[in-house]
Chain A
Amino acid sequence: MLNYLISGISLGSVYAIIALGYTMVYGIAKMLNFAHGDIIMVGGYAAFCAGTYLGWPVPLAILFSMMICTILGIVIEKLAYKPLRNATSLAVLITAIGVSYLLQNLALLIWTSNPKAFPNMVNFIPSIVLGKNSDNPITISSATIVTIAASIIIMVALTLFTGKTKMGKAMRAVSEDKGAAQLMGINVNATISVTFAIGSGLAAIAGVLLCSAYPTLMPTTGSMPGIKAFTAAVLGGIGSIPGAMLGGILLGILEKFAQAYISTQLSDAIVFAALIVVLLVKPTGLLGKKMTEKV
């Protein structure tokens, strides 16, 4: 029982990191970047290549992966989304799905469909064993500890960034009213680029953590966690940073419990059913806020 809870929180923390990326981009640029999951995959491959092929040390490999993803995110935004800044959201959404397939197929060309065995990159702290002398001791792996810690640090950092810094406040201003933000002297395009850079950098971290926990790396590795994390972001209230965190963790726990107690095959269906129920009861998500507007 406790074991499932811990592995649920661990998985949920990965979802949370991905969902934070989704929610940042949605919150500021008001678009769903469906290619986000595939940036995770690219992040995984980048770290894999740096660590395994080039033999770089782990921190360097992770930094390299973040750098690649950040650049990739900025380039995707410039080439694919920026020309659609004033287009309907449907056009942007379809473009994002197109970018997602493009990344997957590029990965297929470069790295083939053979799964790569991803090394555990986050075993630099010892795992904790609870209740060593009892009948069924509980092991918390180093990956779990690092993942949970990383998600909390990232959430706090993002909250502080958007709440306290000038750039963060400017991002919130852009998200509400691009025209008025420009009148303040805020460079809207640059602000959106920074948002994508942050979201994609987070995707790289998520990629390394995800692949360390589930070590088969394939071109489609990112898509399912991407969709789940999107679900998590919506569940928690898209655009809300604590919402993404809460949604991610709840979703991870729900998935692990469904796998353990109901059915492994049905676990995904149960997760998505939970989303439907929450949206029926609270359409803005758990922590989503209603727009207060005075005319």
Chain B
Amino acid sequence: MTTAVDRSARTASLITPLIAGRPGGGTATATPAAPPHASDPHTLVLRERALTARRAVIDMAATPTGCHLGGSLSVTDILIAALDRTADDPDSEVVLSKGHAAAGLYAALHATGILTADPVPHYGAASHHFTGHPGPSVEGVRFPTGSLGHGAPYALGWALSRRLSGRLGLGIAVLGDGELQEGLVWETFQVAAAQRVSNLVVVVDRNGGQNDGMVADISPQPQLAARFEAFGFEVAEVDGHDVGALRALLDPDRADADRPLAVVADTVKGKGLRPVEGKAASHYVTIDAARAAAWKRIVR
């Protein structure tokens, strides 16, 4: 576990440039230049971990129930980075608010070593807890999610509890961009900003897709980063598959921050699997064992 002093020391160097990059409040976002974690050996470990998780997700798509493949693959790198951040820190919590990416969560938890049981043989199966949307009976899952929007306020409450306890710790909510159509999340963002819960981190897995098609066709979200900033958040835009950049944003304990942080992470639905990358149809997929074997060979 990284000590509180270490994280506090890194806060200024990593987050300040994001704020300074928008003089006068014009441009809402900036991406951290040359994150120090990019070539870090641990980043390479996490990339390998993400590949392991993606293969597990493909295996879950080959179970009788199938799974939310596209959104699980888009969020994989975010979850791997976030869970690595919190794995040895009992005061920090990751909440996958886009609970339909349960397969991605189970795979990431298992790859990280938090979930000891292999979820693949039991995904969606009777008498097992690995349901299509995660609940607290699964090792490593604290809050039930799946009905969209609730994960953000859970994480907000967790973050506030750490602040009240005088402890350093983050509440990290991972949301989908389609999920931002839920009113509850904006209600939550309003409260978070008003209460200045600066140890809340909202990561948006902006993969551009949702159940019935593309977000841009159904309910577009122009100037998303600016929206967050208008709500009173610090904002960063990042490549959601750059584990090093994600680590750089999630690592600080934010003890010196005075606003919550929104990380708008651009991702690709079905990431790593060229046959389905960027396709709305990858939202929910059921495949056979032969296809799973083939896809696991080509996945990146």
Is B truly associated with A?
A: no
